[in-house]
Amino acid sequence: MKFYKDHYDVIVIGGALAGLSAALMLADKGKDVLVLERHNLPGGIATSFVRGGIEIEAALHEMMSIGSKDHRLKVGKFFDDMGVDIDWLKVPEAYHAAIPGLEVTLHPGLETFAREVDAAVPGTYDKVLAVLNLCHTVFDSVNELSIHPMSKVQMLMKHEAFVKTAGYSTQEVLDTFDLPQKALDLLAPYWIYVGTGFKELPFTIFSVLMADYIGYGSYIPRKFSHEMSLKMAERAEDMGVQIEYRQHVDKILVKDGKAYGVRTARGDEIYADYVISSAYPNKVYTSMIEPADAVPVGAIKMVNGRRLSLTAFSVILILDKSAEELGIKDYSVFHGDTMDTNACYDELKGLGPYRYITCICHNLANPDATPEGTCSYSITTLPRVDGWKTVSADEYDRVKHEVARQLIDYMSEYLGVNLLDHVLECVIETPMTVAHYTGMWNGCIYGYAHTMEDHIVARLQTAEEEHFIDHLEFSGAHQISGDGMGPAVTNGRKAAKNVLDTMAKEAKA
Ligand SMILES: Cc1cc2nc3c(=O)[nH]c(=O)nc-3n(C[C@H](O)[C@H](O)[C@H](O)COP(=O)(O)OP(=O)(O)OC[C@H]3O[C@@H](n4cnc5c(N)ncnc54)[C@H](O)[C@@H]3O)c2cc1C
């Protein structure tokens, strides 16, 4: 039996959220799609695994851009439109911020959030609400402009707040509100989800983050993030997509500046009009293009010029008592010695001790996440990869356990419970685990850093120039919308749209 067809419209490398979103959108438009995934199951980082008979979420804390059933945001709507039926659970709070002298739980809803900040830092309601409303206005503009690009003059007339703030950092814009430090601290915790300190973080990115998460709340699938990838893969196959697992793509074949197929590690050459890659551009341009001299110098300059964003270190514990018995009160807690995001970012370049930590207790959003009388508690920090690159193979095991122990001790002290006395299962994920499992370049889950020089607005402007090989598109956290599971879906859709637009343009020519 022949394994592959003679030819496909599109080959997608990687069957995780970004790749599967691209495949769904292309199949929906009647295209013949092949997805090649090197693992034996879909999802990449959006996965779960079983230890001691208990299913454990590998990564997801919270999804953005889902929205309620009555008011779906773009990612939630895409799942609905594609017939991917996810059982979404709303996360009860925005977050609990835990820093010395400040312990505050904040809930989604712009006014609710501002009121709760005001209760902790009296007299700040109007200013905090003004910040959040500004974020919301910018967020609406970004959403509209991503679908309906317009001239600069039109933009200035219709999207004044977006245009006025687009060239400024988060710090520069927040400074204009003259808020007390404690209120600023309460607005800061989500910075880690975009991984750049406020001095360098474009206000546009901060706005999208705050308006989406705080305006509409966040969600998780009842059956862990793997519910998304499994159902997407199932639906894609129903729509005629061929998905092949355990097929590592070694090479992308290029002729006359145009991609025309791939070669897998087991030697199959498969042909298509277009290739979409979830593998990082760094990996593709340095070792996957065949022939290697088909890579333009500009492509190498681009990947060398981009700064990689954060990676992850996570300790996932299954504990032998319920959250209530252990005194864990909130689903999501951000801990720090400080909420000075610039200082936190600097600290993340080393190997610890890490003090900016995000903890999740799944059972507080999903009571059935683990068997009754137990709970799942993950302690995550998001280091930069710099420190981890210095760890030798001989040292790796020791360093990994030391860092995990430090995080467990830190949280034990905070909770007033020795977590080690309650461990049923313990899984440690390091940047190396992520790199090994997904092939992400340097284990960077967040793609390229958002900085004032290089972020969504700038990337949209340079997208054309950065298209180095015809009929080759990229999808993944490394693309325009940036990091996270929601943006991975958006990036996959964008790659599919680029393919469809080129197909239409070439058909006309
Ligand atoms: C601990 C942790 C916590 C996180 N928490 C959150 C969170 O709460 N919210 C959130 O939104 N995001 C979170 N993230 C980030 C998020 O998981 C990623 O940004 C997102 O899943 C990236 O999706 P992707 O499709 O781009 O890539 P990946 O999931 O990395 O998928 C890439 C896929 O391509 C396959 N592949 C790569 N190369 C090849 C090849 N050559 N041939 C064939 N297949 C290939 C890989 O096997 C993989 O399946 C977290 C990540 C981690 C590690």
User: By C-alpha distance, which of 185, 178, 164, 171 is closest to 126?
Assistant: 178
Residue that finishes a domain, picked among 406, 438, 470: 438
pLDDT in tens, 366-425: 999 999 999 999 999 999 998 999 999 999 999 999 999 999 999 999 999 999 999 999
Sequence-distant (≥ 6) Cβ neighbours of residue 502 within 8 angstroms: 274, 470, 471
- Answer yes or no: is pLDDT of 148 > 80: no
What residue type is assigned to position 63 of the chain?
A: M
Whether residues 281 and 331 fall in one domain: no
Whether residues 323 and 414 fall in one domain: yes
Whether residues 422 and 456 fall in one domain: no
User: Looking at residues 251-269, what average pLDDT do you find?
Assistant: 97
The reply to whether 3 falls in a domain is: no
Whole-angstrom distance, CA of residue 483 vs CA of residue 478: 7
Whether residues 423 and 481 fall in one domain: no
The reply to whether 394 falls in a domain is: yes
pLDDT in tens, 201-216: 999 999 999 999 999 9
Any ligand 1 atom below 6 A from CB of 226: no
User: Which two three-digit tokens encode residue 124?
Assistant: 């700040």
Whether residues 240 and 184 fall in one domain: no
Q: Which residue has the tokens 């690159």?
A: 389
User: Which two three-digit tokens encode residue 31?
Assistant: 């295209």
What sign for the dihedral angle of Cα 480, 486, 490, 493? positive
Residue-wise over 333-350: b if at least 16 C-beta within 10 A, else e?
Answer: bbbbebbbbbebbebbee
Whether residues 372 and 419 fall in one domain: yes
Question: Would you say 344 and 356 are in contact if contact means Cβ atoms under 8 Å apart?
Answer: yes
Any ligand 1 atom below 6 A from CB of 63: yes
396: number of Cβ within 10 Å = 13
Q: Residue 460's domain is classified under what CATH number?
A: 3.50.50.60
Instruction: Provide the number of structural domains found in the chain.
Output: 3
Compare 453 and 60 and report the one with higher pLDDT.
60
Q: Is 477 helix (H, G, I), strand (E, B) or coil?
A: coil
The reply to whether 2 falls in a domain is: no
- Per 3-state DSSP, the chain is made up of helix, strand and coil in percentages (nearest 5) of 45, 20, 35
Q: What pLDDT is recorded for position 243?
A: 98
Whether residues 329 and 213 fall in one domain: no
Any ligand 1 atom below 6 A from CB of 20: no
Whether residues 356 and 297 fall in one domain: no
Instruction: Give the closest residue (by CA) to ligand 1 atom 33.
Output: 14
Residue that finishes a domain, picked among 217, 243, 262: 217
pLDDT tier at 355 (50, 70, 90 boundaries)?
confident
Q: Which residue has the tokens 């949280």?
A: 411
Any ligand 1 atom below 6 A from CB of 61: yes
Q: What pLDDT is recorded for position 1?
A: 55
Whole-angstrom distance, CA of residue 477 vs CA of residue 456: 12
Whole-angstrom distance, CA of residue 22 vs CA of residue 220: 21
The reply to whether 298 falls in a domain is: yes
Whether residues 211 and 231 fall in one domain: no
Compare 400 and 479 and report the one with higher pLDDT.
400
Whether residues 382 and 297 fall in one domain: no
The reply to whether 159 falls in a domain is: yes
The reply to whether 32 falls in a domain is: yes
The reply to whether 323 falls in a domain is: yes
Whether residues 392 and 371 fall in one domain: yes
Mean pLDDT over the full length of the chain: 95
Whole-angstrom distance, CA of residue 244 vs CA of residue 264: 11
The reply to whether 283 falls in a domain is: yes
Residue-range definition of the domain harbouring residue 358: 310-438
Question: Would you say 21 and 33 are in contact if contact means Cβ atoms under 8 Å apart?
Answer: no
Say how many Å lie between the CA of residue 47 and the centre of ligand 1: 9
197: number of Cβ within 10 Å = 19
DSSP letter assigned to residue 473: E
Q: What pLDDT is recorded for position 146?
A: 75
Residue that finishes a domain, picked among 438, 463, 480: 438
Instruction: Give the closest residue (by CA) to ligand 1 atom 52.
Output: 59
User: Which two three-digit tokens encode residue 156?
Assistant: 């200035």
Whether residues 358 and 411 fall in one domain: yes
Any ligand 1 atom below 6 A from CB of 15: yes
